[in-house]
Amino acid sequence: MINTVKKNPAVRFLRYANKHGLRASLIKSLEKFGFLERDGRGERKPAGKPVGKPAGKEPHSKLGGLMRKLIRYDVISFDVFDTLIFRPFTNPADLFTLLSSELNYSNFKELRMKAEKEIRDIKLSKEGNREVTIIDIYEKLWETTGLDPARCAKFELETELRFCYANPYMKAAYDALIQEGKRVILVSNMYYPADMLTEILTSCGYVGHEKLFVSCDYGLNKYDGKLFQYINSTYFFGEDIEKSLKIIHIGDNKETDVAGSELAGWDNYYYRVCCRPITNFGEGGLVGSSWNAVVQNFLNNSYSCNEYPNRDTTMWKYGFKYGGFMVLGYVNYIYKYCIDQQVDKVLFLSRDGYFLKEIFEQLYSDIPADYVYWSRSAMLTNMPEHYLDECFNHYFLRRYYSSGKRVALDEALVWLSLESLSELWVATSDGEQLITDKNIQIFRQFFIDNRNTFFERCSKDDGILREYFLSIVSNSKHVAIVDIGWRGTGAISLRKLLKEVWGLDCRVSGILFGNVSGGKDFDAAIAYQGLLSSYAFSETTNKEHADYFRKNRSKMSAVAEIILAAAPVPSFRGFGDEKDGGYFYFSIPEIENYSKIRDIHRGENDFINEYIQRTKGDPALNKISSGDAFAMLKRLMNDKLLLKEIGSFVYPQFLEKEVSGTGKIEKLSDFCSLENHLDCKGA
């Protein structure tokens, strides 16, 4: 995405204009001459271009187009690897890394690749071609390692069999052609002889083809057309002339498949390789390689997205490409923590845990999980006496800062539900009608002194609260509370409630995606005491990530919260009193965001499903390190298209100003200015 943006001439021109102070006048000119127009929200967009998906026809079926082309041929030839068959590795040699532990060589990949190169060079000098079999390669490797060639070859083949999977696009075309009675042949440059390659093909469902030609069986390669010419002169001998045989070859390599088949007089169809390399991902290594391969093979194969509905929205793609990876890493971390710490119940806090719980339950049904209603707002509503400072900060201070540190007295008192004390304040403060930096400390003390008035707005009895939580955590010996972050207030406050206020005899710990809270000492203490455990970063684990997060908090937290922790439900505000009917209070639903959030979740769900299937749940490929997860978050933070999409999110209704689409993301907590007055009753 970033490379595309950089190369886009329009973008480069705009950057030039911006740099030289021409942007504003340029944009005005474009608007004047009708090249730009404003949409319903006043945002500029190219004139005439519809917002979102254009109405009308659904996307054309690429597979349909391919079939209409292929059906006219008498013989259809397919390349094998990266055409019919995918592997979940960006580089095929990454497979060798998985053989390392079995064969007890940490540098097995390098040894294996070196042996292959050497034997190919020897073959070229002796016989004039570089075609070798897998046994040849391992016999060469045996010279320096003593590894039994037959055993190694068998082991490598078994690993291929385990991980190779069919390209759904080509599989559908292949099956349709076989069903139509068409002649199908396979032509591959490979070191597996035909019998071994057939085993791999069969395991991927490719049966019924007429013949498989492998370069190592004939000592001929596709590159110079010789293998194709050999097929013409021997296999199709006579047929070409008598039947005007029309043959087409499909492959992903321009030199071997396209140019090579052309030399033999065949038609060809270039199928662009799906898995394109990436650079500089995370900690590098196998997981990054697998992630890239699985994502790209899925997105680019022309079937998995094209032939399914609802897999073409931007937010689905972000969920699939990025979010699912982080969610999977975090969920795996949660499970490992639960096993190591003998957790017998996991509580996913609203709303952050909404989607995490869904995935956790699908993957790890052996540990009971619940979605529980609790939030910072609920904490302040139901436990104000324990968090008075927090109440002041939440209901007054952040709005005070947003208002430029000048707030009218009446408004300030309303925010804190102290309207009835207006005269008392006037008497106390010499009639001050404005709260500014000059008197804010006095105002704060006034609030503290009159806290009982404030408490009247909060919930008075904890009957509903107690009943609710006891029904969830009773009989549990160790409960883990899952949240995204960043201070862990949700987990800590709930722990306080359960253990301190109600005296439950139950171990309560918290798990966060990331933790940047009250300071190094506090974090060290809670980490060592096992109260909070953080996946991606904290003050004591991956501190450089925590420092980076702190520096870029406004953008990073917004991205993380939307991709990982958003939910298509309103925010939970607190528990009502029993005399009021015991309602659960919710804030206004930000329904404008819901369809995008659902798209993100669907994308993440699809990724996790696909990734686990393709990597076979192999531990080496599924242990997503905190470094890789954080690297993914960093990637997202610099993705301008995503930032623009997120810029249209609203938090919550009745914002004084919308988040702009200029790339500056404002913190979620900077909104909710009318929250006090907008309670919505639900149950």
Partner 1 sequence: MKILYYGVTAYHFLCFVLHKHFYRQNDKAVLLIPERINESRSFQKYFSDAGVFEQVFLYDEPSVSKDKSLKENLSHIKEFYDNDLPIEIGFFDEIYVAVDHYAFGAYLVINSLKYNYFEDASGRLSRHKELAKDVCYVNPARGAIAEALGLYGNSLLVDNRYGDLALQDSDYLNQKDIHFSVTELLSQLNRTEIRKLANLFLFRHEDSGFESFEVKNSTILLTQHYINLNMMRYEEQKLMYQLLVDYFAGEKKLFIKPHPSDIHGLYANWFPGATMLPRLLPSEFLPFILEEINTVLVASSTSTLALEKNVKNSIRIGCGIEKNYSMIHKYYVVVSYLLSIKNDLRYVFIGDASQGLMKELIKTFPPLSYQEEITGKSELTATIIGKITEDNRNDIVSQFLSSSQDSFFIFLNYDNGCSFFEHSMKGYLVPIQITLSHQEGIFNKKKSEYIYLLSKNSLLREVAMKMKDKIELTYSGITVEINQEDKSAIGALEGINAAIERRLLEVQGQYDELYSKHRNRD
Residues that bind partner 1 (CB under 8 A): 38-42, 57-61, 63-64, 67-68, 71-72, 172, 175-176, 179-180, 303, 306-309, 362-363, 589, 591-592, 594, 605, 609-610, 612-613, 653, 682-683
What pairing do the DSSP bridges indicate for beta strands 183-188 and 369-372?
unpaired
For residue 442, the one-letter residue type is I
Say how far apart CA 51 and CA 69 lie, in whole Å.
Answer: 34
Smallest separation (angstroms) from partner 1 to the CB of 359:
9
Smallest separation (angstroms) from partner 1 to the CB of 36:
14
Indicate the residue among 19 and 72 with the shorter CB distance to partner 1.
Answer: 72
Smallest separation (angstroms) from partner 1 to the CB of 42:
5
Indicate the residue among 388 and 612 with the shorter CB distance to partner 1.
Answer: 612
Tokens of 541: 């684990």
**660: how many CB neighbours lie within 10 A of its CB?**
13
Indicate the residue among 215 and 593 with the shorter CB distance to partner 1.
Answer: 593
Three-state DSSP at 237 gives: coil
How many CA atoms, within 13 angstroms, populate the side-chain half-sphere of residue 638? 10
Smallest separation (angstroms) from partner 1 to the CB of 39:
8
Indicate the residue among 108 and 165 with the shorter CB distance to partner 1.
Answer: 165
Give how far the C-alpha of residue 490 lies from the chain's centroid of Cα atoms, to the nearest Å: 24
Cα dihedral 575, 581, 585, 588, rounded to 10, equals -170
What pairing do the DSSP bridges indicate for beta strands 434-435 and 407-408?
antiparallel
258-268 residues labelled b (16+ CB within 10 A) or e (exposed): bebbeebebbb
Indicate the residue among 72 and 126 with the shorter CB distance to partner 1.
Answer: 72
Do 170 and 84 contact (CB within 8 A), yes or no? yes
Indicate the residue among 255 and 592 with the shorter CB distance to partner 1.
Answer: 592
Tokens of 124: 């070229």
**Residue whose C-alpha is closest to residue 553's, from 670, 394, 392:** 670
Indicate the residue among 67 and 263 with the shorter CB distance to partner 1.
Answer: 67
Do 493 and 359 contact (CB within 8 A), yes or no? no
Say how far apart CA 577 and CA 459 lie, in whole Å.
Answer: 6
Indicate the residue among 366 and 521 with the shorter CB distance to partner 1.
Answer: 366
Smallest separation (angstroms) from partner 1 to the CB of 612:
6
Do 138 and 149 contact (CB within 8 A), yes or no? yes
Tokens of 363: 């993957």
Tokens of 30: 């474009």
Q: Exposed (0-12), middle (13-18) or buried (19+): which is 416, by Cβ within 10 Å? A: buried
Indicate the residue among 366 and 505 with the shorter CB distance to partner 1.
Answer: 366
Say how far apart CA 176 and CA 170 lie, in whole Å.
Answer: 10
Tokens of 197: 């390659």
Smallest separation (angstroms) from partner 1 to the CB of 149:
36
Three-state DSSP at 142 gives: helix
Smallest separation (angstroms) from partner 1 to the CB of 651:
14
Smallest separation (angstroms) from partner 1 to the CB of 60:
6
Say how far apart CA 135 and CA 150 lie, in whole Å.
Answer: 7
Indicate the residue among 51 and 524 with the shorter CB distance to partner 1.
Answer: 51
Smallest separation (angstroms) from partner 1 to the CB of 570:
9
Smallest separation (angstroms) from partner 1 to the CB of 362:
5
